[in-house]
C-alpha cells in the first residue's frame, strides 16, 4: 500500500520505494529495480535483486495471457525477441533511474510532419502490424470511457487518422472530427478513410478531417462533448503553446465534457532515448520513423512542464504517467465510467491479429502505471 499525493491509499504491485526520488537510490538499487520489472518477486515478498534466468515461454505467457499463449511462435522466435527488445528496455530503465537531472527539451526540427516518407511510415506504423498500434489500442480503450451517443468528439493532432477511424467505426452514433495542421497528414487520413470505407462496403458519415492548429480550434465555446489527443502535444513549439492548447480545450468543452490526452514523457538521459528507439525499431527497417521517434522523445514535455501548462487553464485533469517502452503520460477529465463493451471487443479482436512482440509491448504499457494525481482547478 502507498499514499497518493491527495492522501488516499491504494494497493500497488510495484516494489517498495518505486515512486521515491531516484536521488535516494544507488545504481545497484536501480539495476535491481529494472530486473524486478522483468522477473517480478513472489506475491507479498520484497524484491531480492537476484534476477532469475528468463524462461521464454513462461515470460511470454505471463504477459500475453493464457488465452493468447496457444498462438505463440516457436521458442527460437521468442529468444530473438528477448535479444532485440528486452535488453534495450532494461538498459533504458537503468539509464533513466540513475540519471538525476533532466535533459533540456529540444523542439521537433519540423513542427509539422510534411515529408512524404515520414508520413507514409508513420501511417504504416499505425496499421495492425505497426509499432504504434499497441499505444493506439491502449489509448482507444482509455479514451472510449465516457463517450456518448449523438456527441461531438475532436481528435487533436489526428495525423493519418487511424485512431480517429477506429473510434468512428466502433461508435457509429458519435461524430468525430480529426484536427491536424499538416496537409500531408490530412491527405493521408482521407486516403486511409477511403480505404477503410472500401473494406467496410459503406461510407463513414460520422467522421471528417479539418486543418487547423490545436491552440486555435474552429469550434464555438462549450460546443464539444469530448477531446482526444494522442502522441501530438510534443509537436508544439514550447510550454507556452502547450498552456494555450489547454486553455483552448477548456473554451470549447461542454461543462459535462470529457478529455483524454496522452503523449510521450521526455527521458532524463540521451542514453535512455537511444535505448527506447532501439527497443521500438531495432531490425524493423523503419529508419525514418525511428528517427522521428528520437526527435519526439527529445521534444516531449516533462511532468513538471505539464503541471505548469495545466495551471491556470481552468481544467481539472487527472495525470498518470508510466515507465514503459515509451515513457508515457495521460491526462483525463471526466469519463470515469467503464470501458464500453464494443471497445473491449474491438481491442480483443485486433490483439489476436498482432505479432507477439507488439502484444508484449501492449502488456508492458498497460501494466506499468507509476503515479497519478490531480492538476489544475
As a whole number of angstroms, the distance between CA 301 and CA 66 comes to 37
What would the pLDDT profile of 153-175 be if each residue is shown by its tens digit? 999 999 999 999 999 999 999 99
What would the mean pLDDT of 19-28 be, rounded to a whole number? 35
Is 14 part of a structural domain of the chain? no
Question: Which CATH number fits the domain that encloses residue 200?
Answer: 3.40.50.150
184: how many CB neighbours lie within 10 A of its CB?
Answer: 18
Give the pLDDT confidence score for residue 268 in this predicted structure.
86
What would the mean pLDDT of 289-309 be, rounded to a whole number? 88
Task: Name the grid cell of 326.
Answer: 515509451
Is 16 part of a structural domain of the chain? no
What would the mean pLDDT of 59-74 be, rounded to a whole number? 38
How many angstroms from the chain centroid is the CA of residue 43? 28
Is 106 part of a structural domain of the chain? no
Note whether 183 and 211 are within 8 A (CB): yes
Count of structural domains within the chain: 2
**Pair (34, 156) in one structural domain:** no
Closest CA to 142 of 224, 209, 63, 229: 229
Give the pLDDT confidence score for residue 120 in this predicted structure.
84
As a whole number of angstroms, the distance between CA 113 and CA 116 comes to 8
- Domain encompassing residue 303: 116-376
Higher-confidence residue of 353 and 190: namely: 190
Give the pLDDT confidence score for residue 28 in this predicted structure.
42
Whether 246 shows a pLDDT value over 50: the answer reads yes
Higher-confidence residue of 117 and 71: namely: 117
Is 131 part of a structural domain of the chain? yes
**Among 66, 97, 128, which residue terminates a domain?**
97
- Residues ≥6 apart with Cβ < 8 Å to 194: none
Give the pLDDT confidence score for residue 377 in this predicted structure.
60
Look up cell 486543418; give the residue: 211
Note whether 306 and 326 are within 8 A (CB): no
**Pair (63, 134) in one structural domain:** no
Is 4 part of a structural domain of the chain? no
Average pLDDT value for the chain: 75
Sign of CA dihedral 274, 310, 180, 163: positive
**Pair (121, 240) in one structural domain:** yes
Closest CA to 370 of 328, 307, 310: 328
**Pair (189, 83) in one structural domain:** no
**Pair (76, 165) in one structural domain:** no
Q: Give pTM, 2 decimals.
A: 0.76
Give the pLDDT confidence score for residue 367 in this predicted structure.
56
**Among 64, 97, 130, which residue terminates a domain?**
97
Is 314 part of a structural domain of the chain? yes
What would the mean pLDDT of 75-102 be, rounded to a whole number? 63
Is 102 part of a structural domain of the chain? no
Give the pLDDT confidence score for residue 312 in this predicted structure.
82
Is 350 part of a structural domain of the chain? yes
Give the pLDDT confidence score for residue 29 in this predicted structure.
40
What would the pLDDT profile of 103-156 be if each residue is shown by its tens digit? 899 999 888 887 787 788 788 878 877 778 888 888 898 899 888 889 999 999
**Pair (137, 252) in one structural domain:** yes
Give the pLDDT confidence score for residue 366 in this predicted structure.
65
Give the pLDDT confidence score for residue 60 in this predicted structure.
37
**Pair (124, 226) in one structural domain:** yes
Closest CA to 297 of 331, 262, 268, 330: 268
Give the CA distances from residue 255 to residues 11, 300, 365, in Å, rounded to whole numbers and listed in that order.
Answer: 32, 29, 31
**Pair (146, 40) in one structural domain:** no
**Pair (226, 88) in one structural domain:** no
As a whole number of angstroms, the distance between CA 330 and CA 142 comes to 9
What would the mean pLDDT of 360-365 be, rounded to a whole number? 70
**Among 42, 63, 97, which residue terminates a domain?**
97
What whole-number percentage of the chain has pLDDT above 70? 69
What whole-number percentage of the chain has pLDDT above 90? 38
Give the pLDDT confidence score for residue 126 in this predicted structure.
82
Give the pLDDT confidence score for residue 229 in this predicted structure.
96
What would the mean pLDDT of 301-308 be, rounded to a whole number? 91
Give the pLDDT confidence score for residue 129 in this predicted structure.
76
**Pair (145, 29) in one structural domain:** no
What would the mean pLDDT of 319-327 be, rounded to a whole number? 65
Phi and psi at residue 10, to the nearest 5°: -145, 160
Give the CA distances from residue 112 to residues 115, 219, 232, 301, 358, in Å, rounded to whole numbers and listed in that order.
Answer: 9, 22, 10, 17, 27
**Pair (91, 175) in one structural domain:** no
Note whether 238 and 106 are within 8 A (CB): no
Give the CA distances from residue 188 to residues 203, 232, 262, 337, in Å, rounded to whole numbers and listed in that order.
Answer: 17, 16, 22, 33
**Pair (93, 153) in one structural domain:** no
Q: List helix spans (H) across the chain.
A: 27-38, 56-64, 66-69, 75-81, 87-97, 116-125, 133-144, 162-170, 183-200, 239-252, 270-281, 287-299, 303-310, 341-352, 356-367
Half-sphere exposure of 41 (CA within 13 A, CB side): 15
Whether 318 shows a pLDDT value over 90: the answer reads no
Amino acid at each position: 500500500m502507498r499514499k497518493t499525493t491527495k492522501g488516499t491509499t491504494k494497493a500497488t504491485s510495484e516494489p517498495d520505494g518505486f515512486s521515491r526520488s531516484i536521488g535516494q537510490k544507488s545504481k545497484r538499487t536501480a539495476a535491481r529495480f529494472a530486473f524486478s520489472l522483468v522477473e517480478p518477486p513472489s506475491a507479498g515478498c520484497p524484491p531480492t535483486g537476484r534476477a532469475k534466468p528468463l524462461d521464454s515461454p513462461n515470460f511470454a505467457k505471463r504477459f500475453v495471457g493464457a488465452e493468447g499463449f496457444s498462438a505463440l511462435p516457436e521458442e527460437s522466435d521468442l529468444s530473438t525477441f528477448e535479444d532485440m527488445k528486452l535488453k534495450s528496455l532494461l538498459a533504458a530503465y537503468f539509464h533513466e533511474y540513475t540519471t538525476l537531472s533532466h535533459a533540456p527539451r529540444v523542439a521537433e526540427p519540423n513542427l509539422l510532419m510534411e515529408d512524404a516518407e515520414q508520413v507514409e511510415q508513420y501511417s504504416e506504423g499505425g496499421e495492425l502490424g505497426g509499432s504504434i498500434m499497441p499505444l493506439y489500442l491502449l489509448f482507444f480503450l482509455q479514451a472510449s470511457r465516457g463517450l456518448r451517443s449523438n456527441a461531438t468528439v475532436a481528435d487533436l493532432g489526428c495525423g493519418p487518422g487511424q485512431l480517429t477511424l477506429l473510434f468512428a467505426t466502433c461508435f457509429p452514433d458519435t461524430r468525430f472530427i480529426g484536427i491536424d495542421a499538416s496537409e500531408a497528414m490530412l491527405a493521408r487520413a482521407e486516403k486511409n478513410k477511403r480505404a477503410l470505407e472500401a473494406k467496410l462496403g459503406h461510407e463513414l458519415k460520422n467522421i471528417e478531417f479539418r486543418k487547423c492548429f490545436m491552440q486555435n480550434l474552429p469550434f464555438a465555446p462549450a460546443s464539444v462533448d469530448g477531446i482526444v489527443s494522442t502522441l501530438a502535444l510534443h509537436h508544439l513549439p514550447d510550454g507556452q503553446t502547450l498552456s494555450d492548447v489547454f486553455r483552448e480545450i477548456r473554451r470549447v468543452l461542454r461543462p459535462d465534457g470529457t478529455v483524454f490526452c496522452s503523449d510521450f514523457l521526455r527521458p532524463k538521459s540521451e542514453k535512455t532515448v537511444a535505448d527506447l528507439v532501439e527497443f521500438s525499431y531495432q531490425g524493423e527497417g523503419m529508419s525514418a520513423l525511428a528517427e522521428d521517434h528520437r526527435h519526439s522523445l527529445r521534444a516531449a514535455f516533462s511532468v513538471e512542464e505539464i503541471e505548469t501548462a495545466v495551471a491556470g487553464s481552468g481544467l481539472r485533469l487527472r495525470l498518470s504517467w508510466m515507465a514503459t517502452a515509451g515513457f508515457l503520460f495521460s491526462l483525463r477529465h471526466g469519463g470515469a465510467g467503464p470501458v464500453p463493451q464494443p471497445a473491449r471487443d474491438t481491442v480483443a479482436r485486433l490483439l489476436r491479429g498482432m505479432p507477439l512482440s507488439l502484444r508484449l509491448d501492449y502488456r508492458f504499457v498497460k501494466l506499468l502505471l507509476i503515479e497519478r494525481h490531480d492538476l489544475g482547478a
